[in-house]
Every structure is written in C-alpha cells, then in structure tokens.
Amino acid sequence: MRRLVCLLAILLIIGCGGGSSTNTQPNPQQFTITSGNWDFAGSDQTGSFVVGGNLTQSGAALTGMFHVFNSQCYAFTTDIPVNGTASATSATITSATVTSQVISAVVNGGGTFGSGTFKVTGGCADGSTGSFTATLVPSLSGNWTGSFLSVSGPPAVTTSANLTQTAEADADGLFGLSGTATLGNSVCFTSATIAASFVTGRVVLLLLNNSDGSQTTFAGTVDNPSTAKSISGIYNISGGSCTGDSGTGTISR
C-alpha cells in the first residue's frame, strides 16, 4: 500500500464442451485471454481514464485485481476485485462493490487484445458508460537504457538498468519489479538497486536505492502498452547531496 500511495502522489503531477470434467484448459470455441498484466484505456462522458491490473482465466472463469488512474471517482490506491465469465465470443466482467460503485463490462476479442463497453452503477460514477480497448502488456524484464534531465538543466544523466518482473501479481494486482542500475554524468551517485517497485497496466513505479544512501522515485507510463519498448515519466530524489532534485526521463529497450 505504501508503494501505491507514493505512486499516486507523483502521478498526480503527470496527469496523466460439456460433461463433468474438471479440466480447466481453454475450450477452442470459447473466448480466451492470455493471463497477465492488462491495460485498459477507456473514455466516458467525463473524459479518458486508464485501468491496469492482473487478469487471469481458468476455464470459463476470469478473475483479477484492478486499479483506475485519472478517475474522479476511484482512487488509484484502491484495489478493485473483478470476476468474469467467458462465452463463445466474449466475456462479461463485473467488479466488486467499491465505494458503492459496481463496474460491468463486456469484452470482445481475446488472446492479447480486446475491446468492449462498460457501465458503472451506484456511487460517484453512477450512470457512467463508455468504451475501452484492452491490451496485454509484455513483461518489462530485460535491459533498459535512457537518460534523465533535471529541471535545473543539463547535462542529462544517462542510465543503464536491468529489470526483472515477477511472473505473478501480488494480492493488490501489482507485478513486482527489481534490478540494478548504473548512472553516468551524475554528480550525486553512480549506481542504484531497484526494489519495492511495480507495474500495473501501463503505470510504472521504480524506487531506486542509490549508492550515496539517497532514494530516487521514478513514476511513469509505458508509452505503447502492446510493445512495452519505452517508459517515460518524472523523478525526484530524497536524501543525499541532491535531495529535492526532480525532472523527467525516458528509458527504452
């Protein structure tokens, strides 16, 4: 929860067949998805929003845990459990009641991409309706390079990082990220370890424990969720000789 609260505070700046068989293998004539980290980009009468989280399928049953970003009625830190049922060509997904609100959606497509419609009943967003696209976000595991530019100006700090993403989400629907990073042109620190970090949908939070004892928080979004080749966002530093420094950055692979 601490990670979600930290991310929210920074992202506000960006916003940004039959029988009795128990076999759970997908039916080839049944709507199926690839389980994993899903990103939903949608819009309603009030504007656009992003939903991210874990979505899995076993037989005809879908389960997951979502978070909504850029919504007037849901806090990003709030867990939204969802359940669904697949039919031949689509799936219905319904959320638990959260702050008196229930989300109901119909998803078409399957595999690693889908689209559909939704409505919200009750609470702040009562009557909200709209459409969305859904994309499975590839794992962020791998080598990344990029640069960060302080609000105080150049030179830019270069970075090379190795990220490892957990195969399974935690109870909050977050996929953990860990790794190491080296930095060039930095007058403050030259390396960092990445821990207590995560991705949910397209939203990424990296917490870097720097070699000088300070900590860098980088909050960003995956630029193209279907390929996950680059991440852009903002950073700030707490502790050490560069405490208070902030700026923007992009890393790519």
Whether the CB-CB separation of 52 and 37 falls below 8 Å is answered with yes
SS3 content of the chain, % helix, strand, coil (to 5): 5, 60, 35
**pLDDT the model gives residue 22:** 42
**pLDDT the model gives residue 5:** 53
pLDDT bin (cut points 50, 70, 90) of residue 127 is: very high
Residue range 187-226, pLDDT digits in tens: 999 999 999 999 999 999 999 999 999 999 999 999 999 9
**pLDDT the model gives residue 17:** 36
Give the residue-averaged pLDDT of 155-173.
97
**pLDDT the model gives residue 160:** 98
Residue range 230-240, pLDDT digits in tens: 999 999 999 99
**pLDDT the model gives residue 168:** 97
- Comparing CA positions, the residue from 37, 1, 2, 14 lying closest to residue 215 is 2
Give the domains, in start order, of the chain with CATH numbers.
31-136 (2.40.128.120), 142-252 (2.40.128.120)
Between these two residues, 40 and 3, which has the higher pLDDT value? 40
Residue range 112-123, pLDDT digits in tens: 999 999 999 999
Q: How far is CA 125 from the centre of its chain?
A: 22
**pLDDT the model gives residue 11:** 53
**pLDDT the model gives residue 239:** 98
Q: What angle (nearest 5°) sits at the alpha carbon of residue 238, between those of residues 235 and 241?
A: 110
Letter for the amino acid at 97? Answer: T
Q: Is the pLDDT of residue 82 over 60?
A: yes
Q: Do the strands 90-95 and 203-210 form a parallel or antiparallel pair, or are they unpaired?
A: unpaired
**pLDDT the model gives residue 1:** 54
Residue range 3-23, pLDDT digits in tens: 655 555 555 545 543 333 344
Q: How far is CA 110 from the centre of its chain?
A: 19
Q: What is the pTM of this model?
A: 0.89
Q: In the predicted model, what is the mean pLDDT of the chain?
A: 92
